[in-house]
Amino acid sequence: MVVVDSDAVVRLRPTVLCALVRELRDVPPSLELLTVQLPGDYVIAIHELAGLPKECFVARQARLAEGSLEELKIALRARFDL
């Protein structure tokens, strides 16, 4: 999972918005525009979001590279038509 809320929102709310990480082959072609490519054959699936209690997260595993973060922002804008 990838937390898609901003750091400020994560600090203020008891739940955080997360996107699932899927293998590219598991994403229907009609939803590929709502994904962000990760290394290997994995993508962040912006079309599959879930709100989870922040207590579910024990530690930060990694941060997205700057390019992937920008792609994530674009995909979120497309998902929510902002």
pLDDT digits over 17-60, tens only?
Answer: 999 999 999 999 999 889 999 989 999 999 999 999 988 887 77
Chain segment 52-81, per-residue pLDDT in tens: 998 888 777 788 889 998 999 998 988 888
Q: Which domain, by its residues, includes 33? A: 2-80
User: CATH no. for residue 19?
Assistant: 2.30.30.110
Q: Number of structural domains, the chain?
A: 1
Determine the Cα angle at 36 with ends 7 and 9, to 5°: 15
pTM: 0.83
Distance CA 45, CA 51 (A): 14
